[in-house]
Amino acid sequence: MKKLVQIRPILSTMVGLWALLSLSVSVNAQGTNLGTGGGCNNTFGINGPGFRACQEFGTYSITSSGNTPTSAILFASWTVTSPTGTGYAASGTSIFLNFDQLGRWTLIFNGTLNNGQCISTTKQVEVTGLSLAKPAYMTGEVNQCSYNANYTYTVAPVSNAFAYTWTAPSPWKLVHPTTGALATTLTGPWTSMTVRSPSSGNISGNLTVQAVGPYGGCFNPSPVIFRSMVLGKRYPNILGTNQIGRFAGTSWTVGGTGITNVAWTVPNGWTIESVSATHVFARNDGNSGWVDLSYQTCGETVYRGIYV
């Protein structure tokens, strides 16, 4: 009869193996039997489920494909290594495991038969899980008008997240919430972060945030969310033609970021058919005139125009 044994820790307590989480996660774990060591009996292998859900329990046992029964095994030991590198040991011809971590698990069985022949066989189990949800939003100033200034950004909390990894584009810096030290990347329980703007230049970049689960847990990191940051004043021009046919409808645009309070005007008699902060589409009445644009950049009002 197979003996069900309790695992004894090699490197640490069983806390890492028997997870305290009670998550229901639908995942796959495909087992790969790597066979026996050289010179040993090669008719024995590790038998167990090829697919497992993270946090699911399963029994793995030694089976024989030859004429030698498992009852001929006098000495039997297991070494189980988790994806985080923690090892556990057990004795007997079967073990009962909980796959509570994502990644590759390695199961090694060593034994001795009653004729003195050795047994050595290994099986690897790949465990994958679900990704955390992407943060629903990120808030904070897009247009930064001050140099060497602090700006605060916030992301929506993510269910089951253990921490958040913030990354600032160079030369922006993150301000550590506790120590005040400047860094490019910080990981911690913070859903809000202070960003220090550069000391000069008219530049732009994306601040990114990714939710992460507990180390060695069942969740992959979330997709990345980003928010654009634009430093300094911007002076974009109107883009579009200055020659159109009589009574034709035409579009003009203004490119780039870093501007606010955008307003478009067209000659009297023309009809604006659609308008937004970045474009205007108007139909002329057969007469020429000015298509005008006004906007603000860091408090300065700018005017642009094109005669059509």
Check pLDDT > 90 for residue 102. Answer: no
| Mean pLDDT confidence for 5-19 | 34
Of 208, 231, 254, which closes a domain? 231
Residues 149 and 219 in one domain: yes
pLDDT band at residue 11 under the 50/70/90 scheme: very low
pLDDT band at residue 21 under the 50/70/90 scheme: very low
Check pLDDT > 80 for residue 3. Answer: no
What CATH number does the domain containing 293 carry?
Answer: 2.60.40
Of 171, 204, 231, which closes a domain? 231
Q: Are 110 and 120 in contact (CB under 8 A)?
A: yes
Check pLDDT > 50 for residue 28. Answer: no
| Mean pLDDT confidence for 168-182 | 97
Between 239 and 50, the more confident residue is: 239
- Identify the domain containing residue 187 by its residue range: 131-231
Of 110, 128, 146, which closes a domain? 128
Between 130 and 292, the more confident residue is: 292
Residues 15 and 118 in one domain: yes
Q: Are 190 and 165 in contact (CB under 8 A)?
A: no
Work out how many domains the chain is built from and give that number.
3
Q: For residue 252, which amino acid is it?
A: W
Question: pTM here?
Answer: 0.64
Check pLDDT > 60 for residue 247. Answer: yes
Token digits for 298?
């860091």
Q: Are 168 and 138 in contact (CB under 8 A)?
A: no
Residues 159 and 255 in one domain: no
Residues 144 and 66 in one domain: no
Residues 117 and 138 in one domain: no
Q: Pairing state of beta strands 138-139 and 4-5?
A: unpaired
Residues 90 and 8 in one domain: yes
What CATH number does the domain containing 121 carry?
Answer: 2.60.40.10
Residues 227 and 258 in one domain: no
